[in-house]
Chain A
Amino acid sequence: MEFKVFDIGLMNYKDALWFQKEVFKAVHLGLEGPSLILCNHNPVITLGRTAKRENILFPELELEKKGIEVYETERGGGVTYHGPGQLIAYPIFNLARLKKDIHWFLRELEHIVIDLLATFGIQAKKNPDLTGVWLEKGKISSIGIAIKHWITFHGLSINLKKDDLDNFQLIRPCGMDIRMTSLESELNKEVDIEEVKKELIVKFKEIFNFTSVRYTDIRR
């Protein structure tokens, strides 16, 4: 099975969500096969379905002044932050064609991030009680998905840039007092988002046994 990658680059959360939904419609209608959207966002705080507003630690007006938007979304999970220093992957996959198993899909996403980090020499692990990918120094990848008609949307974020971590102090990620880390903090050197993107595509192909990749660059 071929899978398609849409690289939309840096895009506001709201616009990227619109794009996700367009791709979702195409996958639902059978016009597209498994599709992966890759992007990064301007600073934004998103609330998943189990999020509590009190886990945003600053008044929204203050956040607005800092240029940070706040959105409620239909994904699972609590509060999280996204910024330009992350790589975001939104897999729009029809699980009816892969495996109708929500937890299997979540564990495979973790598996992908762990394998990806291994290519950079970093040993990460799963936490059986907490979805996401973890290192000794903290959490490096957050996962939250939504499923309709067995088609997935939303997905995962990986912290790449060191500078972006400060904004996690504005929230209690997933309603917990956890530390976040990034690939740059771990490697102690600058990380090229394009390099990580390429590896991530390879890992998606491997883990989900896709036969080929069609990469579409639609960055503005």
Chain B
Amino acid sequence: MTNVVLPPLGENIEKATVSFWFFKAGDKVNEKDDLVEMTTDKATFNIPSPCTGILQEVLMTEGQVAHVGETLGIIEEEPK
């Protein structure tokens, strides 16, 4: 299991809002695919998939506010 985490986005940025997911739970995702788009201030920021596998669970949905370091979703990694 690999957690998709909201990375640090800069000094004084503690949180960001989930704009939308490019995939839904159960979908296959490839490493570096655009996975989820976040918004902060007047910027959107795409978080890429950290690995290849199945998007197991979406924990933070559209409109929800996530803090830096918080898990947004979980990917079941494909065995290498």
Contacts and interface: CB of A to CB of B under 8 A. Distances in A.
Contacts of A143: 42
A76 interface: yes
Interface string B12-31: 11000001000000000000
A76 B41 contact: yes
B39 A49 contact: yes
Interface in A32-49: 48-49
A145 B10 CA distance: 15
Contact of A149 (B19, B37, B41, B48): B48
A101 interface: yes
A103 B10 contact: yes
Contacts of A101: 9-11, 13
The size class of the interface chain B forms with chain A is 10 to 19
The size class of the interface chain A forms with chain B is 20 to 34
Contact of B10 (A49, A104, A132, A146): A104
A77 B19 CA distance: 12
A102 B39 contact: no
By CB atoms of chain A within 10 A, which of B34, B44, B46 has the most?
A: B44
A50 interface: yes
